[in-house]
Amino acid sequence: MEHPYNFLEPEKENGRKIYFYGMPATIRPSSHPGEIGIVPDYSVGINRTQWWKLYNERKQPVISPIKDEFDNQMDEIEKEHDDENMESDYINWGDALSDQHINWFRKDANIPPDQSANLSK
């Protein structure tokens, strides 16, 4: 099987431009083999505030289930985790194979046309 991430030489992936949840970002290999971090890229049209707002919106399910006390506690823990990520400008994504929200082939510095409409919100 082929994968766009270079697992044999992860240091070559450092700084690789990607789209994460449709937003510009770069990769930072982790100290754990096969794991990656996501670093937001604010240099191509989305500022820091917009990037994190869109990230939080896009990672939520479209339809929220009825929540109980446990769900509310988990939401609070996740919000604290998200605040830490935003503060450090780094998301510890984990396994590079878990890439359903990553477009590995960002070659230019332009935001995809379908994303430009979201920037005006």
Residue-wise pLDDT for 18-70, tens only, equals: 999 999 999 999 888 889 999 999 998 899 999 999 999 898 876 666 778 88
Number of domains the chain is built from: 1
pLDDT at residue 2 is higher than 60:
yes
Residue 97 counted as domain residue: yes
Is residue 108 within 8 Å of 20, Cβ to Cβ?
no
- CA angle 30-31-34, nearest 5°? 60
pLDDT class of 16 with cuts at 50, 70, 90: very high
104 versus 31: the higher-pLDDT residue is 104
Which helix or strand (DSSP H or E) is residue 77 part of?
Answer: helix 69-88
pLDDT at residue 113 is higher than 70:
no
Chain centroid to CA 77: 18
Residue 119 counted as domain residue: no
Q: What is the mean pLDDT of residues 86-113?
A: 83
Strands lying side by side in the sheet with 35-40: 91-95, 35-40, 23-29, 17-20, 102-103
Residue 72 counted as domain residue: yes
Residue 105 counted as domain residue: yes
Residue 26 counted as domain residue: yes
What is the Cα–Cα distance from 43 to 40, expressed in whole angstroms? 9
Residue 30 counted as domain residue: yes
pLDDT at residue 118 is higher than 80:
no
Q: Which domain holds residue 59?
A: 10-111
pLDDT class of 111 with cuts at 50, 70, 90: low
Where on the phi/psi map is residue 86: left (φ > 0), alpha (ψ -120 to 50), or beta? alpha
pTM: 0.77
Residue 121 counted as domain residue: no
Residue 35 counted as domain residue: yes
